[in-house]
Structure 1
Amino acid sequence: MNPTSRLVVTAVAGLAMVAAATGCRDSRTATAAEGGKAPQVKIMIGGIDKVIYLPPKLTEQLGHFKQEGLDVQLLTEPSGAQAENVLISGDVQGVVGFYDHTIDLQTKGKCIQSVVQFADVPGEVEVVSTAQADKIKSPADFTGKRLGITSPGSSTDFLTQALAVRAGLKTEDITRVKAGAGPTFIAAMDNGGIDAGMTTDPTAAKLTSSGKGKVIIDMRTEEGTRAALGGLYPASSLYMDCAWVQANKPTVQKLANALVKTLKFINEHSAEEIAAKMPAEYAGGDPALYAKSINDTKSIFRPDGLMDEEGAKNVLEVLSSFSPNVQGKKDSIDLSKTYTTEFVKAAK
């Protein structure tokens, strides 16, 4: 575990201990930062160094949160499934992860909504190990293969199952293996722990540039996403508890202002200019490859933070094709509660 991960785990564990010691705390309103100068908001990111989740860290780097008078703490977990658990427990006020979690959680009686929609497409790719490239050319070849996902219940898990079902397979025909992202994913492919897997940049860029992997499904583009999933699939977003949003509208508006400003920056600047604003360690010692990974993914980001309504409907359709949580409740899902455009429409 790297130092950043240890820090996050320790912080979250500490929060849990405080909660246990003090009983049920009231997390319905934003807490004041030190000196009472700014609302404090903790946001958990399902992999802070993934390019698909670049906007919040770039927002911090550009100073947009501070410009809005916010004290935002960005934390990280390896996958969206783990990040959503921290939100539900009340230890953070927001999660940067895939929109599909809001639908899945509604089937479990939770009201969670996207307040800023970063992307209309997943930004994910299915990478096949070079050693397996002649055997796995499409999802129809997934049977009996070890398929890497970040973790069970993550959006990479959802997408892997969806691709299999659309190819005529059953979910029980495939083997999903927890492989994480970044170094753990690459190591799993290196040692044969997985034959193929769902991942994002910069992991994808590292695998393809080294010749270790080959992309067979590319959902970093609208064309590739429509071909793979039958339509748009709104993904990367900032989602929050509905009750918290209603109780903290001024703070949520400031978050939206800052993030929409960043989305416009991404839309108006080159990958090299964006990479230069990010922490140097994100480049992993290869600035050119990091800039390439941003360039390969940056087109997924909307410049306005709005949700595509038809895309949201397609996410529900895709989830209902395989998810036991959604299949029996599809007709009772209220999509209007899974996202709001109120704040991005009012963004400065």
Structure 2
Amino acid sequence: MPIHGMRRAAGTCATLLALIVAATLPGVAQAKDTPEKPTLTMAVGGLPGLYYLPVLAAQQLGYFKDEGLDVTLEDFAGGSKALEAVVGGSADVGAGAFEHTLFMQAKGQHYRAFALMGRAPQIVVAVLKSKADQIKTLADFKGAKVGVSAPGSSTDLVLTVALRKAGVQRNEISAIGVGSGATVLAAVSGGQLDALSNVDPMMTKLARSGAIKVLVDTRTVQGTQEVFGGTMPAATLYASETFIQKYPKTTQALANAIVRADHWLQTASDADLLKMVPPAYLLNDSALYVEAFHNVRDAYSPDGLMPADGPATSLRALSSFDSRLDPKKIDLNSTYTNDFARKAAAQLK
């Protein structure tokens, strides 16, 4: 064989060997097909919050890139704002609460969740310590000014469900959008709020400093069941039915990356976490961030799959306070699919 032929053959063997090794590495989710839409934009409803940590991990650890995707993360003050970007077409897919798919179906628009990130909302409802003498329970919230990430977002919805159980209607409070990052601290210190419904790490930071008194805690599966009577699916990746049908390989690649991130979060050490998270998100207090992470760790889905009772629990809770949501007119099976997450999870075994 000519020398150049031998080199070519050796090079081919080396390439094949590299591919075989890569395919057999533990924990590596390989994209089965090239995504139809490799460059895309994802709208996220508050990226600094631990609620969306699987998205951040997938981006920071290169999981999207491993799947052949170039994902631009567009950050918004809350899930409802991110949804607007997806519906308006400025974003291809959304990272947001599962309930958005229910509300969109009620409006005649079909969106489907295809990878679960959170099996508990991770939302804390608390009263400011300065108001704790007047507001001792949820029943005392009438007339209160309550900070939420954005009106209509999951922080607002969880607040509304919890208040309704205590006999307080949504129109009896004032919900004020305060974001989910450092803007929360400014709103609390500015004296414009009586109470707060928000996510970590901000709620852990405020509780640690003694600024708030926690009344409702859905950072654990148990705490969530106490409020909602079942598993309440939280953060998901979702897209329009049109997108999923048009780009099934892209949807699978996104699910692969997110389920891999879900899996990573189950066993990541504190050091792993701090190495992955950008310094700007650590609030100049890495110990606080780690504490907040441990407060919510139970809330992350281990496999990206929608729990069997999740959609029904969500619909029951949401329809209890929003008359626009008629349970008889909602087809739960068309608001989510486990097909992509199941394939993604199988690759990690």
Q: By how many angstroms is 1:284 displaced?
A: 2.0
Judged with a 3 Å threshold, the aligned counterparts in structure 2 of structure 1 residues 323 and 272 are, in CA distance, closer, same or farther, namely farther
Deviation at 1:136, TM superposition (A): 2.3
Cα distance in 2 for partners of 1:80, 1:296 equals 21
**Amino acid across the alignment from 1:344:** A
Q: Normalised by the size of structure 1, how large is the TM-score?
A: 0.86
Aligned to 1:344: 341
Describe how 1:18-29 pairs up with structure 2 within 5 A. none
Cα contact 1:271–1:298 (8 A) shared by 2: no
In the alignment, is the contact (CA less than 8 A) between 1:31 and 1:41 conserved in 2?
no
**Would you say the 8 A contact 2:46–2:181 is kept in 1?**
no
**Counterpart for residue 304 of structure 1:** 303
SS at match of 1:324: coil
**What corresponds to 1:133 in structure 2?**
132
Q: Secondary structure at the match of 2:237?
A: strand
Q: TM-score, normalised by structure 2?
A: 0.86
Q: Hey, what's the Cα distance between the residues in 2 that align with 1:275 and 1:196?
A: 30
Q: Name 2:328's counterpart in structure 1.
A: 331
**Partner Cα separation in structure 2 for residue 181 and residue 311 of structure 1:** 25
Contact 2:78 2:153 in 1 (8 A): yes
Consecutive unaligned residues in structure 2, runs of 5 or more: 1-34
After superposition, the C-alpha distances for 1:117-162 in whole angstroms (9 at most, x for unaligned) are: 1111100101211111233233212112111112221111211211
Deviation string 1:233-276 (CA, Å, 9 cap, x unpaired) is 10111111111001111111111111111111100123442232
Q: Distance in 2 between matches of 1:268 and 1:171?
A: 39
Matches for 1:142-221 after TM superposition, within 5 Å: 142-221=141-220
Structure 1 residue 298 displacement after superposition: 1.7
Preserved CA contact (<8 Å) 2:112 2:335: yes
Q: What is the CA–CA distance in structure 1 between the aligned matches of 2:104 and 2:343, rounded to whole Å?
A: 27
1:1-348 equivalences under 5 Å are: 39-326=38-325, 329-347=326-344, 348=347
Whose radius of gyration is greater, 1 or 2? 2
- Give the Cα separation in 2 of the matches to 1:190 and 1:101: 31
The match for 1:16 is none
How far 1:31 sits from its partner (Å)? 7.0
Helix, strand or coil at the partner of 2:114: strand
Question: What is the aligned partner in structure 1 of residue 14 from structure 2?
Answer: none
CA RMSD for the aligned pairs?
Answer: 1.4
Query: Structure 1 runs of 4+ off > 4 angstroms?
Result: none
Return 5+ residue gaps in structure 1 as ranges.
Answer: 1-29, 33-38
Structure 1: distance between partners of 2:40 and 2:279: 25
For the residue of structure 1 that corresponds to 2:90, the secondary structure is coil
Deviation, structure 1 residue 169: 2.2
Shift of 1:219: 0.4
Identity of aligned residues (%): 35
Q: What amino acid maps onto 1:252 in structure 2?
A: T
Partner Cα separation in structure 1 for residue 281 and residue 168 of structure 2: 38
> 3-state SS of the aligned residue for 1:53?
helix
Residues in 1 aligned to 2:193 and 2:229: alpha-carbon distance in whole angstroms: 27
Separation of aligned partners in 2, 1:145 and 1:241: 37
Q: What is the alpha-carbon distance in structure 2 between the residues aligned to residue 306 and residue 189 of structure 1?
A: 36
SS at structure 2 position matched to 1:225: helix
- Aligned residues, how many? 311
**Aligned residue identity for 1:339:** Y
**1:98-129, CA deviations, whole angstroms, 9 ceiling, x for partnerless residues?**
10111011111110111101111100101211
